[in-house]
């Protein structure tokens, strides 16, 4: 019976989040805020603050985030506050960890930071608070500066949905290039479509996105501490015939790097792969860095891990 009541309460909470009544306070659960934005077809405004230590965050809380702010802003946005506190007694451990994780996911480097996203979760604005947004009118004027970026991203997303074949590949590429690099991982399904959509390579995107798919797969394997398998993602691609010289160089370099980190390959072989990378595109600006890496390995060779 207790579980049934908990389930009913959870459903009730979701329904409340979906209501279109003006907010009178921040939603502090980011996922709940995302769900509410999608349900209400509103944009999402995430305010990353440091309420107990950051002076500008404190000032915004006092002068901007008033009743009038919530009344006006909630007509257009679902409002979410992710507070990065220093006094860990102010919130439970799970919330602390979730907030830090959210800040990392959105590439937050300073506080306060504001993130704007569509109801579909596409981020079109990410900026630090500044002294020109310390009043209510100034803050809304600040939000208005992201209008053009929003329109561009929404239009690009529409093209992705409406196009097919090579044109869809081009539309995806334009969309991916428009979003912030920190957000690209959430579009892995979209990214993985491009090599097939441009199977004949006529759109010029097949190699570029095969390399991006290799990064997606390698990151997943790296997190599982499967470094040689992560390196194989790039080695297999480098041994194919769909990459241009610069992409080939990058693939061989990443394969060598990951194998070197794993300790599963001797230094001579690592250097061999790095030299292959150089030969792929000798005039590439990154070539000198690879040469420097080779010299470092020769001077300070890493110790290979003992075989199990």
> Each residue of 205-241: pLDDT tens digit?
999 999 999 999 999 999 999 999 999 999 999 999 9
For residue 175, being part of any structural domain is answered with no
For residue 160, being part of any structural domain is answered with no
The total of structural domains in the chain comes to 2
Alpha helices in 19-83 (DSSP H): 30-40, 55-63, 67-73
Cα 146 vs. chain centroid, distance in angstroms? 19
Do 61 and 130 fall into the same domain? yes
Q: What is the pLDDT of residues 5-17, one digit of tens each?
A: 333 333 334 434 4
When pLDDT is cut at 50, 70 and 90, the band that residue 201 belongs to is: very high
For residue 158, being part of any structural domain is answered with no
Do 230 and 133 fall into the same domain? no
Q: What is the pLDDT of residues 235-269, one digit of tens each?
A: 999 999 999 999 999 999 999 999 999 999 999 99
DSSP calls for 231-246: HHHHHHHHTSS---HH
Question: Residue 242 is part of which domain span?
Answer: 201-299
Mean confidence (pLDDT) of the chain: 91
For residue 285, being part of any structural domain is answered with yes
**163 Ramachandran zone, left/alpha/beta (phi>0; psi -120 to 50):** beta
Alpha helices in 77-164 (DSSP H): 93-105, 136-144, 147-162
Q: What is the pTM of this model?
A: 0.85
Query: Is the Cα torsion angle 141, 147, 148, 150 positive or negative in sign?
Result: positive
Mean pLDDT of 272-285: 97
Which domain CATH number covers 206?
1.25.40.10
Do 215 and 97 fall into the same domain? no
Do 216 and 92 fall into the same domain? no
């Amino acid at each position: 019976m207790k579980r049934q009541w908990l389930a009913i309460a959870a459903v009730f909470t979701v329904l409340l989040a979906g209501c279109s009544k003006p907010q009178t306070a921040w939603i502090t659960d980011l996922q709940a805020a995302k769900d509410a934005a999608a349900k209400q077809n509103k944009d999402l405004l995430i305010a990353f603050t440091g309420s107990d230590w950051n002076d500008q965050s404190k000032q915004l809380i006092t002068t901007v985030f008033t009743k009038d702010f919530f009344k006006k802003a909630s007509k257009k946005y679902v409002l979410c506050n992710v507070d990065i506190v220093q006094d860990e007694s102010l919130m439970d451990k799970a919330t602390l960890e979730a907030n830090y994780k959210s800040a990392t996911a959105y590439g937050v480097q300073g506080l306060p930071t504001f993130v704007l996203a569509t109801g579909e979760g596409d981020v079109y604005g990410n900026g630090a608070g500044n002294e020109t947004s310390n009043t209510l009118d100034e803050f809304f004027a600040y939000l208005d500066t992201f209008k053009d970026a929003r329109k561009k991203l929404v239009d690009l997303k529409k093209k992705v949905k409406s196009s097919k074949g090579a044109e869809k590949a081009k539309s995806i590429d334009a969309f991916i290039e428009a979003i912030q690099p920190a957000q690209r991982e959430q579009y892995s399904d979209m990214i993985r479509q491009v090599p097939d959509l441009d199977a004949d390579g006529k759109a010029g995107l097949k190699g570029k996105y095969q390399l991006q798919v290799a990064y997606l797969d390698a990151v997943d394997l790296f997190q599982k501490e499967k470094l040689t398998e992560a390196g194989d993602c790039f080695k297999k691609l480098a041994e194919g015939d769909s990459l241009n010289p610069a992409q080939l160089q990058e693939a061989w370099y990443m394969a060598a790097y990951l194998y070197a980190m794993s300790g599963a390959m001797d230094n001579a072989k690592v250097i061999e792969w790095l030299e292959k990378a150089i030969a792929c595109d000798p005039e590439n600006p990154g070539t000198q860095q690879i040469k420097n890496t080779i010299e470092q390995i020769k001077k300070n060779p890493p110790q290979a891990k003992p075989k199990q």
